[in-house]
Amino acid sequence: MAAKITINIEDRAFDFLSKVTDNRSAYINNLLLEKEREKLEAELRKGYREQNQDPEFQAAIKDWNVTARDGFKISILPK
């Protein structure tokens, strides 16, 4: 489903948009989706860093690794 919207952009931005694509809607939509993905990735990285610094979480992971015997090593978690 797509929503129809009206936006105002600066002339310079419109000129650039007109030069780089014939389909302005698709171009803007893809930019927004890319930014959404970048934001999610940044939030995930932040969360992984926080988990890596959380002693309780690390202890729980150790317990699960012993229980699961999957060979997953904590040292490969992002820092």
pLDDT attached to residue 14: 97
Q: How confident is the model at residue 27 (pLDDT cuts 50, 70, 90)?
A: very high
Identify which has the larger pLDDT, 33 or 73.
33
Using DSSP, state whether 69 is helix, strand or coil: coil
Separation between Cα atoms, residue 42 and residue 38, nearest integer Å: 6
Helices (H), 1-79: 11-20, 24-53, 55-68
Assess contact for 74 and 65: CB atoms under 8 A: yes
Q: What is the pLDDT of residues 40-57, one digit of tens each?
A: 999 999 999 999 899 888
